[in-house]
Every structure is written in C-alpha cells, then in structure tokens.
Chain A
Amino acid sequence: MASITIDNVVKQFANQTVLQNLSLHVPDGAFYTLLGPSGCGKTTLLRCIAGFNEPDGGRILFDKDDVTRVSTHHRDIGMVFQDYALFPDKTAFDNVAYGLRARKVPKAEIARRVNEALDKVSLLALADRYPAQMSGGQRQRVALARALVIRPRVLLMDEPLSNLDAKMRLQMRDVILDLVREAGITTVFVTHDQEEALAMSDRIAIMDRGSIAQLGTPEELYGTPVNAYVADFIGSANVIPVPAESAGGAASHVRYQLCGQQLDGKQGGAALGAQGILIARPEALSLMAPAPHVPNAIAGEVLRRQYLGFKTAYRIRLHDQSEIRVELHAGNMVADFQAGDAVQVLVPADSRVVAA
C-alpha cells in the first residue's frame, strides 16, 4: 500500500496538451475517483500513474519513491481495464495466477492465494472456465481478483463498469468497494458516470481539459460546486449568469439580481466580479402560489409539468422569458401546479453564486 503523489505532471500528445501541470495527492488507503467527460485527460492521468504514458514534465511518487521513469512492470500496480483484458487462452485460475507466477511465488502458495481471491469474488466454482465462457460481470470479477491477488501498492481502475449492464454495474460497485476496503488498498478509479463517482469515492477529482476543476468529497462537490462546469457535471443545476456584488456582513453573503429583482445568496469558490453565476439545483427550489409575496422569491408561470412518480418536474418561465427548472419531491410537495398557473419560485438564500 502506498500514497500516490502527482506533482505538476504535464503530458502532451502531438502538440496538444492533455495534462496541464496537474497535481494531486491520494493518501494511503483512499479511494479517489477521476471524473470527467471523454477527452478531459482522466484516462491519460491514470495511464501516467500506471506507467503506460510517460509524463513530459513533473513527477509521480508512490510514497516517497519517484516512479516517474520506472517501467510499468516494475511499479507493482494492479490495474483493471474497461474491456476486462483477460487472457483469452487462460482459465480464470490461470489468469489470476499470472501475476503471482511472474513473481516466482511458490506453487502451493499460488494455489492458496488464487483460490482465496476467486472465493472473494464468488467465482471459485468457475476457476476452470475460459473468459469466453463467462459473462461480463464474471469476467470483470476475475480481472479484479487478478489485480488484487498480487497485493499491489496501488489499484488503478479504468472505467471498469462501463461495459456492464445497468443491474450488474450496481452489483459490481459493491463487490469492488468491499474488496478494496478490506484490502485497504489505495485506489484511483476513472469514470465518466457521476452517480458511480458519488456512490463509491472518498474524494472525487472533477477534470476539465487537463486540469482538476474541483477536488472534494461527493457532498462537497454536490453541495458547494466551485463553478458552473462542476455544478453541471455533477447532478443537474440551473446555471444562470447574474449581476452580483458582495454584500458585506458575513464574508460569503452575496446580493444578486434575477429577473430585475434583488435576491440574497452565498458566494462559492473564488471572489466575484460584477457578474456571477447562480447555481440552483432544481430540487433546492420550491414553488408557491403567486400571493402573498415572500422574500427571495421571483414570479413566473408554469410552462410544463411532468409527473415522474417520486418527483414532479416543472419548467417555469420568468418574466424576462428565461426558464428555470424546479423539482418537487413527492414527500415534501406542499402544493401542485398545472401548466399556465402563475407561481412564485423560492430561491433559498444559501444558493451559490460563483465567479463567471
């Protein structure tokens, strides 16, 4: 087990900078997720940690060891791939035993450890199967056992769930978390699926064009996104440019204008200029009858109502013709509105306004 330190790493492909002076520290035993859309550099970063890509600048350390120039096969890592990458001509047992044999582990111990590893992923009964004879979920569990059985210093996972069907994906999340927690192994997990990231990670690094846009716990990223990119990527949000100014008093208190009306909000991230961006999660907003007027609410009209079972989603048109989305959950819905109804949208005073 080891911590991972990524120190000012730069990576370029054909004059295009894929990683820009990126730094990140993953403490020993932590589960970190690199999250972002395709092309944001998350896989490149993972492959730099694995040693398949060599950084053009910066250093990568496992604990205190600089591994930047160490070949992959000397790094002592475990890696799980998107397409499983099982050796097609080897049985599940031989796949898992592969890394141990390369390490010249005595035969009896190999048998013991491989069986133990297969048992942990509930595949002991399929030890003699070839990859072609297993389902996607089973293959990925073999791949996981194969990566963990060598007790690597770090575990790297490159979108390991994206080739599985929805149900299997949920199951595999638990399998992975159980095994990783039990082994206490430092894990870097790459995904473009925000829900997966939220559900599994100690910390998530949201990546944007080769840099980390925000690093934080799932709660921090969802609750206090530092910019519109993060807010939009995790969950869904109304992202509205607004004129804004710091209001004095409490340091984070902000006044902004929405639809010609002064509202109170909270500053998120860096200091604001004259313009800010209001980030309002649809489920944080609520709807009320147009009268009587309440503070921090703006008037509008229901454009469309969609009933979705556990929640009802509304599109509200404000007076300046802009639209805002509101979701009311079945449990706490006070009143329902139909298309055409005049309403007030209450924007809570702790809604974030971030720098434009």
Chain B
Amino acid sequence: MKINWWPWGFLTLLSLVLLLFFVFYPLGTLFVNSVRDESGAFSLSGFITLLQDSEYLLAFRNTLVLGVSVTACTVAVGVPFAYMVARYDFPLKNLVAVLPIMTIVIPEIIVGQSWLLLLGNNGLVTNLLAGAGITLPTFYGWTGMVFSMTLVYYTYIYLGVLAALRGFDGQLEEAGLSLGTSPLVTKLRVLVPVILPAVLVNALVVFTLVVGNFALSVVLGSSVPLLSVMTYNAFVGEMGGSPTLQSAMSVVSIGIVAIVLFFQKRVVERKIYTMTQGRAPAVVRVRSGAAVFYTLSVGVIIVLSMLPLLIVFVGAFTETSGPVMRWGQWSLSSLERALRGAPEPIINSLKFASMATVVGVAFAVLVSYLTIKKRNPFTQLLDYIVVLPLTISGTVLGIALVQTFNTGWLVLAGTSGIMVLCYTVRRLPFAVRNASSTLFNISDSIEEASISLGVSPLKTFFKVLLPAMKASIISAAILMWVTTISELSASIVVYTGGLETMPIAIFRQVDGGRLGLASAYGAALVSVILLPIVVAIKVFRINLFSSK
C-alpha cells in the first residue's frame, strides 16, 4: 500500500513514537524489572518470593473471590433493572436517564467515604441503630466492599444489557410463540441466548475493574488482603529499594486482566449475534401493585447510587471534633480548612486535569482520525497500542511510570509532568473511543468534497473534520476531565510532596479518620466535576444540529 508521508504519514509516526515511549516502554520496563534481581541479572526470584508468600497467595485468592462476588451481585442487580426499564413503563421511570452520567461522575473514593460516613464504625446510621440497641456488622471488609463496589459497577451491566434488549427484535419472540413454545420457554430459548453475550462481556469488564480497584479496596478492605492494595504497599514500602517484587506483583495483575480480555475476545465476542432489524417489543405500562414494586425497586437503586452526592455535601457542612462527626450541627469550619488552609490539592487537581484533558483529547482526536480515516499498517499498530492501558490497573500503571521515568535522560518523577502523563495515559483509550465513535459516522466524502473545492488536506482537517466532530470533542473532553480529576489509583503511586490532588487528599484524610475534612475536599471535587457537565448540557442545547 502506498503511504502519503505528508502530513499524515509523519503524524502517524510521531504518534507511534510517543505511544511507544510513554505506554509501551514503561510496560516493557516493568516486565523486564520483574525478572531481574538487584544486580540486573535474569532471575525469577520475584515470582518465587510471591509464590512462597502465604499472605500474597491469600490476597490473590481474596481478589478473585471479590471479583466473582461483586460481578455476580452487579449481574443480579443490573439485569433485572435493565429488563424492567426496557420492557415496562412505570411511574418515575424517567429518573433512570440520569444514572449513567451520575455513576461515572461520582468518584469511587467519595462513594467509599460517604458510605463510611453512614455505616462506618462511627457512622450516622450505625450510631442511630446502636442507640436503638441494634448492632450492625462492621462495614469494613467484605460487606462494605461488595456492597459499595456493586453500587459503583452495576451500571456497566445495566447499560450493556439495556442496549442489547433495545436492539432485540421483538418479532423473534413472536416467532417463538407462533411456533408453539410457551412465553417463559420462549424467553429462555430466544431472548436469553441473544442477551447473554452482552451480560458476559460486561460482567468481564466489571471483573477486571474489581480486580484493579484501589480506592474502595484500600478504604474499606483494611482487614482483607487484596492484590491492588498489596501492590501499592509493596511500592510504598520499597521506594528506592529493589523494584523486582513490585514489578512481579504488577505483572501478575496484568496477567489476570490479560487472561480475562483474551477470553472475552476469543470466546464471548464470537457468540455475539447481530440483529438485522431491531424493532424492540412495545413497552408495557404496568399498574397498581406491580407499578409500586417496579418503582420502588428502581427507586431504591437510584437513591443508593446517588446518596453519596448528598452525603458528601452534608458531611462537608457538618461540625466535627477530631474524627467525630457532630451530625445535625452545621459548620463551615471543614470547608474553610480545606479551601483556605490547604487549597493546594484543589489547585493541583484543576491544573493536572486541565492539562491532561487538553493533551489527551488532542492526541485522541489525532489518533482516532489516523486510525479511522488514514488506514495503513502503522495506524493499525497505533490502534493496538492505544488500548494497552485498558489492561493495566491504575496502581500498576503508576508503578510502571515511576520505575521508567525516575532516572535516565527524561526524569519526570516528582514533577507535574508525571501526574499529567499518568492521567493522560490512563484515560487515553476512553478518549479515543469517544472520538472514534463520531468519526465512524462522518463520511469520507465530506473531506473529499472540501479538497475538491480547493482546500488542502491539512486545512480540510481543521475546517471540516474538527467542526463536524465538535460535539464529540466536547463530550470526550468532559469525560476526560471528570474521570481524570477523580483519578486516584495511579496518581497516588506517582505523586510526591507538593503534587497532592483532591482524591489523594480525600484518601489521606479518610485514612487518618478525618471524615469531615475529607468531605470538604469531596464537596469541592464533586463541584468541579458537576460544573462542566451543567455547562455542557447548555452548550449542547445550542448545537442541536447533527451530522446526518
């Protein structure tokens, strides 16, 4: 195939070099370090130590058990939820529309923290019930983790299954009925096989997210050894020491995710059926008893999902004395201490997230343009490397970046650069996916139309492509912003003094038992997340035109 070098071939190479250097190279370093001892010679001592460490093996098992339990719970919540929303109409159903955005928006650390405020050892509900003579089981450990992770991750199942159900051709069910199977058997034989892959794909996603989860694991799982927390502790404990063990641990985590992704690609994706004509069956309006039941069950899920938003603000305005929250006594002192006393995390977060958003979205737009509109063997490679960060948990990415960029000719450790880099790399696959989705819908001919009218290819990119992508660039930027500003697991590994961000501050305050101050930072964090979303909705209202 012939490649036109200017400008796209050149930009492809540039992107490739950047990705190789900032994504591929750190991962490679991690792998190499995992099989090298202190003297630099090849050695499997890291892995052998892990195999002999009973606590590590326990953490390994715990992580898998947690992954399976949370995944099962999210399926149990998400599938019926999706089915109710797809097939039935009931009072207040419109509320579910806010769910996808809201659950992405609420940072995990805030979910963990606000449930601690309610159900922790000194929590509001715990204390209320204790007053009534009821003792709740401790929220720390399995209960808290499974509960809060289910609430954080069930939307993945819900959204995936909802999309599958809406794309399902209702005539298939009618065909089943006409062929003489009962309604229940029809559903089992016709609907289930088509929906199952969607459940499975998203269940695997949830599993990998649970395995890589750091924020909730570290806040709630203190008594339960888990891989992500252990990897982090190994890193914190061994800073400056031998990186072999932390690398080996990281490689194991990558291995777990890689196996899951491989299984997903090889086994699950082959079972996905494409519906030729998806006319979803009509939505049934339910009445009386059923309506109350549907509304209540959906309502409970929505309230539980959104509660952290409320709690964090209540917590921020509540009087504290040391670790004790004085519920019902309002005060501005926590907020004042956070905003006036130690505003650095807020400023840092805003700075790093803005930079990562600008860099990440610009790069994502370029990469998706090259991979979709200027296909060649190199862009294919680009396409593969850009999704690599998906296989790495934040903790592992952080370790890889620190190990790679703390020495050598490019030292980023200890500078803002490493924070921005880890934000950017972590969210790049998502930003690329965002940008790509609209690019697929933009026909190649509008570029050709512009060129035929006398505008050069490069100018055409700026005059035609970018304006046509405006809506998706805005939404990619907002998603990048809200997800990077709440990023914890990678940044907590790479940050050093002076680089503290809001999520890190929240984590440290929670860790120190100061939930009031944590709430104050939490309220600030949620505010800067919600602000651009509100603005964006207004912006989108102005631009109602679409590309087709």
Contact = CB atoms under 8 A, between A and B. Distances in A.
A binds B: yes
A78 interface: yes
A88 B468 CA distance: 6
Contact of A87 (B1, B456, B468, B548): B468
A42 interface: no
A76 interface: yes
Interface stretch (B56-64, B140-148, B195-203, B445-453): B445-453
Nearest to A14: B1
Contacts of B446: 85-88
A102 B448 contact: no
Contact of A132 (B445, B457, B548): B548
A13 to B, nearest CB: 9
A266 interface: no
Contact of A88 (B448, B452, B454, B545): B545
Contacts of B449: 79, 81, 85-87, 143, 146
B437 to A, nearest CB: 15
Nearest to A91: B545
A73 B443 contact: no
A156 to B, nearest CB: 8
B467 A78 contact: no
Contacts of A130: 545
Contacts of B456: 71, 73
A89 B471 CA distance: 10
B453 A102 contact: yes
B454 A73 contact: yes
A83 interface: yes
Contacts of A81: 445, 448-449
Contacts of B546: 88, 132
Contact of B452 (A14, A77, A83): A77
Interface in A63-83: 71-79, 81-83
B279 interface: no
A77 to B, nearest CB: 6
B464 interface: yes
B454 A150 contact: yes
A74 B457 CA distance: 11
Interface residues of B, number: 24
B455 interface: yes
A89 B467 contact: yes
A133 B548 CA distance: 9
B547 interface: yes
B539 to A, nearest CB: 14
Nearest to B457: A73
A150 B547 contact: no
B271 interface: no
Interface string B518-548: 0000000000000000000000000001111
Interface string A99-119: 100110000000000000000
Nearest to A95: B449
Contacts of A87: 446, 449-450, 464, 467-468
A82 B445 contact: yes
**By CB atoms of chain A within 10 A, which of B442, B449, B452, B463 has the most?**
B452
B299 to A, nearest CB: 37
B468 A102 contact: no
A354 B463 CA distance: 54
A98 interface: yes
A98 B467 CA distance: 14
B445 A83 contact: yes
Given A132-B545, A132-B546, A133-B545, A85 B448 contact: yes
Nearest to B443: A83
**By CB atoms of chain B within 10 A, which of A78, A89, A102 has the most?**
A89
Contacts of A131: 545
B448 A99 contact: no
Nearest to A98: B453
B470 interface: yes
Nearest to A47: B448
A307 interface: no
Contacts of B442: 88
B445 A85 contact: yes
A132 B454 contact: no
Contacts of B464: 87
**By CB atoms of chain B within 10 A, which of A52, A72, A76, A79 has the most?**
A72
Given A86-B446, A88-B547, A133-B545, A99 B453 contact: yes
Interface in A28-79: 50, 52, 71-79
A74 B455 CA distance: 8
A242 to B, nearest CB: 46
Contacts of A146: 449, 453
Nearest to A156: B452
A180 to B, nearest CB: 17
A74 B215 CA distance: 57
A72 B445 contact: no
Contacts of B468: 87-89
A92 B470 CA distance: 19
Contacts of A74: 454
A99 B455 CA distance: 8
Given A87-B467, A88-B547, A133-B545, A79 B448 contact: yes
B445 A76 contact: no
Nearest to B441: A88
Contact of A52 (B443, B448, B545, B548): B448
Given A87-B467, A98-B453, A99-B453, 10 more contacts: A73-B454, A73-B456, A83-B443, A86-B446, A88-B442, A88-B546, A98-B463, A102-B455, A146-B449, A147-B452
Return the 4 tightest CB-CB contacts between A and B, nearest first: A99-B453, A85-B445, A79-B452, A85-B449
7 contacts: A79-B448, A81-B449, A85-B448, A87-B450, A87-B464, A99-B453, A146-B453
